[in-house]
Chains A and B, each alone.
Chain A
Amino acid sequence: MQRFEFPRFEFVGRFARNRGALVGACLILVVALMAIFASVFFPTDPLRIVGLPELWPGEDPEFPLGTDSLGRDILSMIVHGARATLLIGLFASAVATIIGVGVGAIAGYFGGWVDEVSMRAAELFQTIPNLIFVLTIVVILGSTLTNIVIAIGIVSWTPIARMTRAEFLSLRDREFVQACRSMGMSDFRIIVSEILPNALPPVIVLSSLVVAGAILFESAVSFLGLGDPNVASWGRLVGDGRQLIRSSWYICAIPGIAIMITVLCLNLVGDGLNDALNPKLRDR
């Protein structure tokens, strides 16, 4: 049975030659390590008051990024916030990928009215203004972490479904799939074990870009004060600092920069993966 030959080494090489993507990947790694070892670096609760309020960055060497209006260490909050932000992004993207791959695979494999209905559904979810949908879900079902993650996943699955569908459409009539069909393999097995592995690489790249989108989403929800009250994500830190922009705008600026760098790096990595997958599309 024919399998997709993934030119692994060439792929890695092409990715590594893309300087932006490499820098992005390294920075993402740093953020991830920060998130994982947050409690090692800053064992105390980041929301505890540790110093004078509104210390500017550099004013006190003990708090390199300064303190907020209550005297909490901003660096500690950023490091701990990385965990919440990244996890929400990853899980929301996972939800979106599961829905998107499921819908896209079924639509592309079966075609006909199944396809028609699935694509109409995708259109429906693109029609409802995404953030309004998320806010509605969150406010009606409650601002818990799970609800936020699921809500973001629900509004982010459509591009993944479209791409999966396109991959399935191009793969479903290939010889190796027909061979499986003639052997009497069930549709489910063909989808999961034969087509899916071949369709997955570009979908994974897209999922990495969805992580970036999900982080932006979550930060907007938290910024509006509708995030999980027990989670201090970066978006919430921006929202908290908003009242003090006249005197201490850095409180707002720093977490925003953290969001921006993370999203930027994820985009760079996604672009790099994309280029490495489709070398012909480079320079465009």
Chain B
Amino acid sequence: MAGELVSPTPALRGSARRTAALRLLRRRLIQAVPLMLGVVVINFCLIQMAPGSFLELMTAENQVSDPATVELLRKTYGLEDPVWMQLLKYIWALLHFDFGFSYRQNMPVIQAIWIHLPATILLMVSSITLAVTIGVAAGVVASMKVRTFWDSLVSIAAMFFYAAPSFWLGIMMIVLFSVKLGWLPVGGMMKIGGTGGVLEILHHLILPTLALGLFYAAIYTRVMRSSMLEVAQLDFVRTARAKGLSRNKVTIHHVLRNALLPVVTILGVQMGTVLAGSVVIESVFSWPGVGSLLFDSVSSRNYPVVLGIMVLGSLVVIAANIAVDLVYMWLDPRIEIR
């Protein structure tokens, strides 16, 4: 038809969207390479800046004197080579997941971290789920009852949890729910001598999840509220109302999904801070995750583990970011992959 431009992209059907998702995945994986390289270089710079030799650093804790081990380390990291060669060797070692050996755990660093990773990821996932659920729900309620008692209540609660240090919140919850009321365990992931059943772990998961998640719930509440109010002003909402849809239906079917987009964006940006936040929370609740391992390693100056956690933590963040990107793409069909 004259004058009407044929759309540049044909409608994306199921399989086409899957292809697009795969393309996004590939693109993000390629982008991840320089990012990881950057992390490794920063790591390397830290090692170089540290007082004392690299060897001392990598074996700091136990003063390894076994000449064979020292010789092995010397060879792996090329300590006689110029700095750039050392960097290349370091990268080469990391590429083979060789993060060194942890004498404290008496196992390779990668294995020590690997053992602790599931607990941390469980805590991260449950905290993010809690934060998004509460944040979205509270934000929607506040925006629908804007400038009422409920709106103020939500805003004040969000202000409060946004300002409370998570570790302090965790301790206060232990005081209330564990010490005074005796409802929930003080810490750990299972009872001493427990079997580690799902219910038992969930029971132990409640307080750490609240302590870590409520801070983010506060952020998402504020973002969601303002995003809901903003989307509600858009033209298509009026169209939906003109169709005869009730206010609630319009909110749920039309406003909500559009309003979620900024929340998802922020979620992606904050993945790193969620992982970092779990370090503190794990220390408060003796949660046997990477955070506890990091705390232990930092206290005992077990550098290989600390550096390994920084690299693997960044890797987890990149993976989580890719997952968030895919969710965003699923929510917003306008995303075109270049």
Q: Per the CB under 8 Å rule, do A and B touch in the complex?
A: yes
Closest 7 CB pairs of A and B: A256-B168, A131-B276, A264-B163, A129-B276, A263-B163, A284-B226, A124-B38
Q: Are B313 and A128 in contact (CB under 8 A)?
A: yes
Which A residues form the contact surface with B (CB < 8 A)? Answer: 120-121, 123-124, 126-133, 135-137, 139-142, 212, 216, 219-220, 223-226, 235, 238, 242, 245-246, 249, 252-253, 256, 259-261, 263-264, 267-268, 283-284
| Contact indicator per residue, chain B 43-85, by CB within 8 Å of chain A (1) or not (0) | 0001101110000010000000000000000000000000000
Interface residues of B in 137-184 (CB under 8 A from A): 146-147, 159-160, 162-169, 171-172, 174-175, 179
Q: With A135-B298, A140-B46, A259-B168 in contact, do A126 and B175 touch (Cβ < 8 Å)?
A: no
**Sample of 17 more A-B contacts, CB < 8 Å, known A224-B279, A256-B168:** A124-B38, A127-B321, A128-B310, A130-B272, A130-B273, A131-B276, A131-B279, A136-B306, A140-B49, A140-B57, A140-B303, A220-B166, A220-B167, A245-B175, A246-B179, A249-B179, A263-B163
Q: Are B273 and A139 in contact (CB under 8 A)?
A: no
A-B contact pairs, 7 of them (CB 8 A): A127-B318, A132-B310, A133-B310, A245-B175, A246-B179, A253-B175, A267-B162
Which of A132, A256, A261 has the most CB atoms of chain B within a 10 A radius of its CB? A132
CB-CB under 8 A from B165, the residues of chain A are 216, 219-220, 223, 235, 238, 256, 259-260, 263
User: Once bound together, how far apart are the Cα atoms of A131 and B299, in whole Å?
Assistant: 15
Q: Are A136 and B163 in contact (CB under 8 A)?
A: no
Partner of A129, one of B49, B163, B175, B275: B275
CB-CB under 8 A from B47, the residues of chain A are 140
Q: Are A238 and B276 in contact (CB under 8 A)?
A: no
User: Once bound together, how far apart are the Cα atoms of A85 and B39, in whole Å?
Assistant: 30
B117 within 8 A of A: no
What is the distance, in angstroms, from A225's C-beta to the closest C-beta of chain B? 7
User: Once bound together, how far apart are the Cα atoms of A135 and B314, in whole Å?
Assistant: 14
Interface of B is mostly: helix
B190 within 8 A of A: no
Partner of A264, one of B38, B159, B279, B314: B159
Q: With A223-B165, A256-B172 in contact, do A127 and B294 touch (Cβ < 8 Å)?
A: no
Q: Are B35 and A245 in contact (CB under 8 A)?
A: no
Which B residues form the contact surface with A (CB < 8 A)? Answer: 34-35, 38-39, 42, 46-47, 49-51, 57, 146-147, 159-160, 162-169, 171-172, 174-175, 179, 225-226, 229-230, 269, 272-273, 275-277, 279-280, 283, 294-295, 298-299, 301, 303, 306-307, 309-310, 313-314, 317-318, 321
Q: Are B318 and A223 in contact (CB under 8 A)?
A: no
What is the distance, in angstroms, from B150's C-beta to the closest C-beta of chain A? 16
What is the distance, in angstroms, from A96's C-beta to the closest C-beta of chain B? 15
User: Once bound together, how far apart are the Cα atoms of A252 and B179, in whole Å?
Assistant: 14
Q: Are A260 and B164 in contact (CB under 8 A)?
A: yes
Interface of A is mostly: helix
Q: Are B39 and A135 in contact (CB under 8 A)?
A: no
CB-CB under 8 A from A261, the residues of chain B are 163
What is the distance, in angstroms, from A68's C-beta to the closest C-beta of chain B? 15
CB-CB under 8 A from B283, the residues of chain A are 224
Q: Are A129 and B314 in contact (CB under 8 A)?
A: yes
User: Once bound together, how far apart are the Cα atoms of A41 and B272, in whole Å?
Assistant: 42
